[in-house]
């Protein structure tokens, strides 16, 4: 199963960059939440940050580009679904609430 | 028997042409189930949020952002360390791989500790599962995630024990990579929960 063998742990530099990116995005999202509370476009930015963080973990840590097609679809699909639904709820929350009422 | 072996070989060839499996097939069955489970839990969150937008806008202000941020930093850092453990093992650096894994375990153990302190803080401030729809959903999702993270921590302990007795080599480290894949998937789920409860307020 393990075919991606290298002599040097070359991934460490890109892992470090991904980790720094994740930490930075965490603080950026807190900053946005503090300063733009209640604005309509905050949810778009938060959805984008959720997607970006998921992509960083999938691409750098799971090494999704080299993974089997099924695994790639499962992970990238999961990462994409939540921000999309978040945007749907933000802009069409009333309709969703009506559809989801018993 | 020959036909079975041939089918197995064909499947292996298909796998290699379609990409590799990080870890092993079993863990990806588990991760897929975990994703499906949390998609159902996220549906609960979204439906509740659609019905009670005000409760979700105000609820997060009462939670401890410090705890949420600390857990996020612990999760991404432990994920980073465990990814380094896989990379160093792949390069044949067993001792470095063990050191990275121990560092990942230490960071991962900070999660249940931070969650315990957060729940204590919640109780001191009168935040229980009966404090409103937002808090019911918050406890439901975050406790579920804590259960999955606990399985991951137990997995790290098992993999560390195997690693210490020479269970992995640069040619065969699928158990270590399987654990890493599960932990990264659990990390992705937490990053969503963090935004749901501590950012979107």
Interface contact flag, B57 A38, Cβ < 8 Å: yes
Q: Is the pLDDT of residue B75 over 90?
A: yes
Q: How confident is the model at residue B11 (pLDDT cuts 50, 70, 90)?
A: very low
- Taking residue B169's Cβ as centre, other Cβ atoms within 10 Å add up to 11
Residues B190 and B201: their CA atoms lie apart, in Å, by 17
- pLDDT tens string A51-69: 999 999 999 999 999 999 9
Q: Which of A15, A68, A93 sits opposite B20 (nearest CB)?
A: A68
Closest chain A residue by Cα to residue B97: A9
Interface contact flag, B199 A75, Cβ < 8 Å: no
Q: Which of B18, B51, B92 sits opposite A97 (nearest CB)?
A: B51
- pLDDT tens string B116-166: 999 999 999 999 888 999 999 999 999 999 999 999 999 999 999 999 999
Residues A23 and B197: their CA atoms lie apart, in Å, by 18
Mean pLDDT score, B48-64: 90
- Chain A positions touching B83 (Cβ under 8 A) are 11, 15, 60-61
Q: Is any Cβ of chain B less than 8 angstroms from the Cβ of A44?
A: no
Q: How confident is the model at residue B58 (pLDDT cuts 50, 70, 90)?
A: confident
- pLDDT tens string B32-53: 999 999 999 999 999 999 999 8
Residues A41 and B134: their CA atoms lie apart, in Å, by 22
Which helix (H) or strand (E) segment holds residue B104: the answer is helix B94-124
CA dist B154 → B111, B147, B186, B188, B193 (Å): 13, 11, 13, 19, 22
pTM of the model: 0.90
Q: How confident is the model at residue B98 (pLDDT cuts 50, 70, 90)?
A: very high
Closest chain B residue by Cα to residue A45: B200
**A to B CB pairs, distance under 8 Å:** 158
Q: Which of B80, B181, B199 sits opposite A19 (nearest CB)?
A: B80
In degrees and rounded to multiples of 5, residue B9 shows phi and psi of -65, -45
């Amino acid at each position: 199963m393990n075919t991606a063998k290298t002599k040097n742990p070359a991934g460490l530099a890109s892992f470090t960059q991904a980790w720094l990116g994740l930490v930075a995005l965490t603080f950026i999202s807190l900053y946005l939440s503090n300063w733009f509370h209640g604005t309509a476009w905050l949810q778009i930015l938060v959805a984008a940050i959720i997607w970006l963080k998921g992509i960083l973990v999938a691409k750098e840590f799971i090494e999704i580009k080299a993974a089997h097609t099924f695994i790639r679809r499962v992970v990238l699909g999961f990462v994409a679904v939540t921000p999309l639904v978040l945007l749907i709820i933000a802009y069409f929350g009333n309709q969703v609430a009506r559809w989801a009422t018993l | 028997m020959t036909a079975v072996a041939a089918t197995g070989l064909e499947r292996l060839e298909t796998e290699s042409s379609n990409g590799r499996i990080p870890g092993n097939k079993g863990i990806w069955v588990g991760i897929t189930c975990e994703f499906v489970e949390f998609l159902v839990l996220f549906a609960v969150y979204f439906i509740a949020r659609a019905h009670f937008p005000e409760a979700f806008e105000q609820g997060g202000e009462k939670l401890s952002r410090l705890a949420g941020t600390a857990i996020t930093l612990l999760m991404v850092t432990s994920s980073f360390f465990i990814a380094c453990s896989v990379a160093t093992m792949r390069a044949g650096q067993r001792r470095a791989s063990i050191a990275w894994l121990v560092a990942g375990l230490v960071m991962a153990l900070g999660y249940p500790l931070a969650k315990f302190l957060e729940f204590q803080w919640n109780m001191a401030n009168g935040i229980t599962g009966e404090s409103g729809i937002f808090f019911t959903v918050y406890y439901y999702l975050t406790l579920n995630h804590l259960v999955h993270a606990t399985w991951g921590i137990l997995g790290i302990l098992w993999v560390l024990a195997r690693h210490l007795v020479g269970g992995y080599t640069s040619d065969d480290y699928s158990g270590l990579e399987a654990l890493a894949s599960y932990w990264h998937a659990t990390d992705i789920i937490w990053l969503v929960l963090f935004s749901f409860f501590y950012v979107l307020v």
